[in-house]
Amino acid sequence: MRLELLKSLNEERAARRAAVLVTDLADGAQRLVKAAELGADPLAEELDAALRMGKSRGAEAGGKSYFLTVQAPPVRIVCIGAVHISQALAPMAKLAGFDMTIIDPRTAFATPERFPGVKVIADWPDAVLSAAPLDRYTAVCLFTHDPKIDDAGLIPALKAECFYIGALGSRKTHQQRVARMHAAGFTDGDMARIHAPIGLDIGSVSPAEIAVAVLGEIIMALRKKPLRAEKAA
């Protein structure tokens, strides 16, 4: 690999940005395609599929064979709220290979004893996320039912390129949330990024069942290619 390609690849890795190294198998020629440049590349569809799966793969295009070496940041799940759903979700997320952080200013809930082996931060979400910014490889789940806490995580999430934002609560609760976000200057397009009520509609009731629905929806948002109608929406 040429030195300039390696340098660019390392820069993307350090910034938690995805990239794909494209190698022409016939002559060994290589180029680096950054995530922001993906749409303009001749192999855009193949690159998009490889990035969504997070796996390196071969590709054929224009009578040529390529190998796509995928570099994607580890996916993070940030939960706002040290609640029962978070307790159930934490071991599931670990099994699925996702890093998880729980943020809650309520020190009675945000304790290592309630979340063994999980990063728990007893502070306000906006303070935590200003020091550790969100990105497009982060999913954010809002679990507290308290607008003062949830909104402090929702606003940074909407400003970032998070691939998933989910919020617990009824449709009426979400309407109130939308009204607050509109008052804060966010648009209908921003509101469309929020999955509310959170989780796949599988009839879940218990915290563990809701955690399954949430993790399933996160994986779907990460891996599934959007339908044409979804893109239009």
Of the residues 71, 87, 104, the one at which a domain ends: 71
Q: How many domains does the chain have?
A: 2
The answer, yes or no, to whether residue 233 has pLDDT greater than 50, is no
pLDDT digits (tens, 9 = 90+) for 77-107: 999 999 999 999 999 999 999 999 999 999 9
CA distance linking residue 144 with residue 169, whole number of Å: 9
Note whether 18 and 121 are same-domain residues.
no
pLDDT digits (tens, 9 = 90+) for 177-201: 999 999 999 999 999 999 999 999 9
The answer to whether residues 34 and 12 touch, using CB atoms and an 8 Å cutoff, is yes
Note whether 63 and 12 are same-domain residues.
yes
Note whether 24 and 88 are same-domain residues.
no
pLDDT digits (tens, 9 = 90+) for 29-83: 999 999 888 888 899 999 998 998 889 999 998 889 999 999 999 999 999 999 9
Please give the model's pTM, rounded to 2 decimal places. Answer: 0.86
